[in-house]
Chains A and B, each alone.
Chain A
Amino acid sequence: MTKISMTVNGKSVSGEVEGRTLLVDFLRKDLRLTGTHVGCDTSQCGACTVHVDGVAVKSCTMLAAEADGATVATIEGQAAPDGTLNTIQAAFQEHHGLQCGFCTPGMVMAAADLLKNNPKPTEAEVRHHLEGNICRCTGYHNIVKAIMAASGQDVSQLAAE
């Protein structure tokens, strides 16, 4: 067992993990931060996307021990302390960018990563950026729309509904 410590959503945490423990399992099982989800075994679906030192990472692809000393952000830390949704979360609700909600935490974290580096993405750039995040419910229409809206773009003329 290895002792690790990191900052998660602004709080210092520590724990003991096996060498084979994945970051997602440390978050879900040890820290009980169950908002980060596991949807596949092959790093395809992106439901487990978190930020490690400011970069979007699939937490099923990283060992917990590798995140020792890192700063980690998960979906639980995205809203304000009083519960107010951040811009991306609010846009997802406004534009019905989620249905079952299972892929949603990963989508929100991936979108935040995109908008940090590309504040006004085109439709094609949004779709390309979501290559590693699968949604089975929405057909992506409202996810793409929500992310573009969160970037401050007018989405009212994107497609008739």
Chain B
Amino acid sequence: MPKDSGIGASSKRREDIRFLTGTGQYSDDINIHGQAHVYFLRSDVAHGRINKIDTAAASAMPGVVRIFTGADFEGIGGLPCGWQVTDRFGAVMKEPAHPVLAQGKVRHVGDPICAIVADTLEQAKDAAEAIELDIAELPAVVNMKDALKPTSAKVHDDLSDNLCYDWGFVEDNRDAVDQAIKNAAHVTTLELVNNRLVANPMEPRVAVGDYNRANDESTLYTTSQNPHVIRLLMGAFVLGIPEHKLRVVAPDVGGGFGTKIFHYAEEAFCTFAARQLNRAVKWTSSRSEAFMSDAHGRDHVTKIELALDADNNFTAVRTETYANMGAYLSTFAPSVPTWLHGTLMAGTYKTPLIYVNVKAVFTNTVPVDAYRGAGRPEATYQLERVIDKAARELGVDPIALRRQNFITQFPYATPVAVEYDTGDYEATMAKLEEIADLSGFEARRKASEAKGKLRGLGVNCYIEACGIAPSNLVGQLGARAGLYDAATVRVNATGSISVMVGAHSHGQGHETAFPQVVAEMLGIDENMIDIVHGDSSKIPFGMGTYGSRSIAVCGSAMVRATEKIINKAKKIASHLLEASEADIELKGGHFSVKGTDKSCAWGDVTLAAYVPHNYPLEDIEPGLEETAFYDPSNFTYPSGAYACEVEIDPDTGKVTVERFSAADDFGNVINPMIVTGQVHGGIGQGIGQALLENCAYDENGQLLSASYMDYAMPRASDVPFYTVDHSCQTPCTHNPLGVKGCGEAGAIGSPPAVVNAVVDALQSGGFKHVTHIDMPVSPSRVWAAMNG
């Protein structure tokens, strides 16, 4: 029987009520009395020198409060980068300045030049048209390999070239990997592009800066996945506002997918301008603005080689990747192609030797940073595509080739520096075969062929690393932040509970799932527990939500704080029940004395804590509130096996996804309904990357896909129902809940399954020359490949 409450129950989401009735409060719903509005005048060229900005006429326009330019930010810190990568020669990465408003040069289409603050947004937009800009256009740096040529224009004049870093991992393996590839019985090589994407949460970014001069306090309402991180970065490194004078609030946030992790210029601007003008300043991104100012994702160009011995055992993997950083380093950009990518190149396989080389490149494009999966989808895609290609070259079954090379013993130390604690890759593969009905595929293929369609099956495995940690390790790897999290459990006098958590919920359902854990531990009703998140003034601290870390890291902090509550409550209960503390048991919301019928209720203990008339005041303090910080000892390693079946219309090249199945191992699961929903959403985005989405620039650095008319987002008719299973569970060994994280799996595991299926369909349809098609696998690309 499924549980109806606590851990493992599919509790219905309590946050749904406000979202379904139009009473959620997103940042754009916040309006502060007397607020002004800002409109950013952005560069329409990819690269140019700013000769002159004349704001005189615009400043005299109706309603204009003030027009800011880069000159207003001289002497003020630029946007900081949160991760410093050291290259394979021991030198630190190049780290260019990232001004809030452009200074001297514009470096990508969308780079903000002027900020026009006016009484209304319409007045600000009207005034922007009256600003006279004199910008001398410079040659744009767009293609990464061209950017590294000595003759290339430079994105940053003060840097020696456009190479941010040349990273090797594990550098000590380099020669051994070269040797293994030279000596291999078979080497499969694949060159591929991991297409540039735009995360596109449905809520565009918003920033509302407010200032209270009487107590010198600033408040920023922002669309963020991690308000405390924004407070730290903006307060300490950009504006110089100490934490106790700076409140950052991320209220209801309409999706993030990584792109709302980062600290953006608009946040710093609105906070700064509100202080300058002593007036609230609001900015709401339009969708077109979002395309040219939200950090983009992926954009890797990779060559991967897989070496096998005569028995088809993997002996080595060697990769060379060019990773686009865009024009500036976004907050965590340098970590994505390195520590979030190279460390995953073992996948689920016991390949003994691995070498990953990454050249990160500056170009005149929007900065690129983490997008759902961040580095791990790029690792999985190339590995699972090259394995499929190898199976085809060797004439072996792709599933059998994977099985033969699976890691089977845990813990397992990979040659790329991480140690998988648990997993069972055979179990998820067997589950996939069952739920995807792989044995019925040939019959379905024949049915498709009878309709004149090609049909293909693509299977792949993935592993990801979630809950990035521990802090002392990531510090050595270049992180400029800790990666713990925090929770405060505040038990009120009548027994209800507020839990203040550092994780932020923007679709993940924390307000429902987190109370399930506390309710399970205390044996009380979930509805007695509320989660408070997203406001730096209400919660102790938090590193926020990304990397599928919320339940594994912040959830663990919440467990630790609840354990402290239980310990103290037992002391109080032992006093009330006049028994030894060691004999007190907490079950079903009641404290009882072992072996007796003496008991008291949860509410008796909580009331005693706040009305301590009969209370051991000499031993313990009144009140019942505890805080815990939790710093994990390792990553968690969710894994799984995915299968996709596609049909291709040979007349048009159009690919349709007919079936999609996912067998995941997330360790223990708190709320299966929510976990299933997370997988659905990830698969939807992964199918989007594989078939539809592409952020395109022309050779002059003009952004060609800057609206939903040009950037193809998946619609309901582009995807099927998915078959999802997470009954294979190998609990994480090092966190108290045994959880691994589920937010990114779908987006990591699905693109290779789709592309493997497309290639399979073409091969089986007689198009033997087609061994790869780059994403998005659009009708024109498929048709060209078939006819090429």
Residue of B nearest to A101 (CB): B19
A144 touches B716 (CB 8 A): yes
| A85-B20, A101-B16 known, 6 other contacts, Cβ within 8 Å | A39-B287, A96-B13, A131-B716, A137-B255, A139-B714, A160-B723
The reply to whether B676 and A161 form a contact with Cβ atoms under 8 Å apart is: yes
Q: Check A40 for interface membership: any CB of B closer than 8 A.
A: yes
* Distance between A78 CB and nearest chain B CB, rounded to angstroms: 7
Q: Are B21 and A131 in contact (CB under 8 A)?
A: no
**Identity of the chain A residue whose Cβ is nearest the Cβ of B22 in the assembled complex:** A35
In the complex formed, the residue of B with least CB distance to A86 is B20
Contacts of A83 in B (CB 8 A): 17, 21
The distance in angstroms between the C-alpha atoms of A33 and B28, with both chains bound, is 12
Does any Cβ of B come within 8 Å of A118's Cβ? no
CA distance A37 to B284 in the complex (A): 12
Q: Is B779 an interface residue (CB 8 A)?
A: no
Interface residues of B in 335-366 (CB under 8 A from A): none
Interface residues of B (CB under 8 A from A): 12-13, 15-26, 28-29, 31, 122, 200-204, 252-255, 257, 286-288, 435, 506-509, 673-674, 676-677, 680-685, 687, 707-709, 713-717, 719, 721-725, 746
How many Å lie between the Cα of A83 and that of B683 in the bound state? 34
A-B contacts, 12 of them at CB < 8 A, read: A36-B22, A39-B204, A75-B20, A96-B673, A100-B19, A127-B716, A128-B716, A130-B715, A134-B713, A136-B685, A144-B716, A160-B723
Chain B residues, Cβ within 8 Å of A123: 721
Contact A42 to B19, CB < 8 A, known contacts A94-B12, A96-B674, A131-B717: no
Minimum C-beta distance from A46 to chain B (A)? 10
The majority secondary structure among interface residues of chain A is loop
Q: In the complex, A124 Cα to B717 Cα: how many Å? A: 7
Determine the chain B residues whose CB is within 8 A of the CB of A160 once the complex forms.
435, 723-725
Contact B681–A104 (Cβ < 8 Å): no
| Complex partner residue of A102 from B203, B674, B676, B683, CB under 8 angstroms | B203
Give Cα A46 to B289, complex, Å: 18
Give every chain B residue within 8 A of A92 (Cβ-Cβ): 16, 20
The distance from the CB of B486 to the nearest CB of chain A, in whole angstroms, is: 24
Cα-based distance from A92 to B20 in the complex (angstroms): 8
Q: Which of A23-48 contact B (CB under 8 A)?
A: 28-29, 33-42, 44-45, 47
Q: Name the distance in Å between B316's Cβ and chain A's nearest Cβ.
A: 36
Is A39 a contact of B203 with CB atoms below 8 Å? Answer: yes
Chain B residues contacting A139 (CB-CB under 8 Å) are 680-685, 687, 714, 719, 722, 746
Within 8 Å by CB of B22, from A100, A103, A105, A126, lies A105
Within 8 Å CB of B201, what residues of A? 100, 102, 136
Nearest CB to that of A35 among chain B residues?
A: B22
CB distance from A1 to the nearest CB of B (A): 13
When A76-B23, A98-B20 are in contact, do A103 and B509 touch as well, CB less than 8 Å?
no
Alpha-carbon distance A141/B253, docked complex (angstroms): 22
Let me know if A71 is at the binding interface, CB within 8 A. no
With the chains together, A38 CA to B121 CA distance in Å? 15
CA–CA, A128 to B715, complex, Å? Answer: 9
Bound-state CA distance A157–B702 (Å) is 48
Q: Provide the bound-state CA to CA distance between A98 and B680, in Å.
A: 11
Which residues of A lie under 8 Å from residue B714 when comparing CB positions?
139-140
> Which A residues between 18 and 70 are near B, CB-CB below 8 angstroms?
18, 20, 28-29, 33-42, 44-45, 47
Nearest CB in chain A: distance from B69 CB, A: 26
Q: Are A100's CB and B254's CB within 8 A? A: yes
Is A159's CB under 8 angstroms from B719's CB? no
Q: Would B707 and A159 count as touching, CB distance under 8 A?
A: no
User: By the criterion CB–CB under 8 Å, are A41 and B26 in contact?
Assistant: no
- Asked whether A142 is an interface residue with its Cβ less than 8 Å from the other chain, the reply is yes
Given contacts A47-B202, A98-B20, A160-B435, contact A140 B26 (CB under 8 A): no
Give CA–CA (A7, B122) in the complex, Å.
27
A41, B707: Cβ atoms under 8 Å?
yes
How far apart are the CA atoms of A75 and B29 in the complex, in Å?
Answer: 15
The CA-CA distance from A82 to B674 in the complex, in Å, is: 28
B719 x A140 contact (CB < 8 A)? yes
Least distance between A11 CB and chain B CB atoms (Å): 15
- A136 close to B24 (CB less than 8 A): no
Whether A102 pairs with B20 at a CB distance below 8 angstroms is: no
Cross-chain contact of B24 among A35, A127, A134 (Cβ < 8 A)? A35
CB pair A102–B287 under 8 Å, yes or no, is no
Is the pair A138, B26 in contact by a Cβ cutoff of 8 Å? no
- Chain A residues with CB under 8 Å of B200's CB are 136
Q: How far is A63 from B26 in the complex, measured between Cα atoms in Å?
A: 24
A101/B252 in contact, CB under 8 A: yes
With A34-B29, A35-B23, A94-B12 as known contacts, state yes or no: A103 contacts B202, CB within 8 Å. Answer: yes
A143, CB-defined interface residue at 8 Å? yes
Within 8 Å CB of A161, what residues of B? Answer: 676, 723-725
Contacts of A47 in B (CB 8 A): 202
CA distance A35 to B19 in the complex (A): 8
Chain B residue contacts of A37, Cβ below 8 A:
26, 202-203, 254
